[in-house]
Amino acid sequence: MTALLGLFAISFGWVFVQAFQSRNVNSGQYAWAAAGSWAIGNLQVLVLSSVIGPHSSFLSTQIYCLGGGVGVVSAMYVHRRFLTRKAPHA
């Protein structure tokens, strides 16, 4: 069970950072984009070493996919909440 929670967390983090990165690039957030690139590289290594292994199963694949779905929606919310510039009222 702990391994499945870890897999969920890894997937969540990887997809969260990728979605956050996409929004950084699209909105011209240069410093955040540089930090996001570094985080993506580190998480890719972690994902590949965790997912592609001898203990891979259908359940672990589904947990990984669930973490990704939750990660992308969370990244969209967090980016909009904290980094998206609001247009001034006219």
pLDDT for the residue numbered 22 = 92
Measured distance CA(5)–CA(7) in Å, rounded: 5
Per-residue HEC secondary structure of 60-76 comes to HHHHHHHHHHHHHHHHH
Instruction: Tally DSSP H helices, then E strands, for the chain.
Output: 3, 0
pTM over 0.85: no
Measured distance CA(6)–CA(23) in Å, rounded: 26
pLDDT digits (tens), the chain, 90 positions: 788 888 888 888 888 999 999 988 888 888 988 888 888 888 887 877 777 766 677 787 788 778 888 888 898 899 889 887 665 665
Measured distance CA(19)–CA(23) in Å, rounded: 6
For the chain, domain boundaries: 2-47+56-82
- Which of 48, 44, 35 shows the shortest CA–CA distance to 83? 35
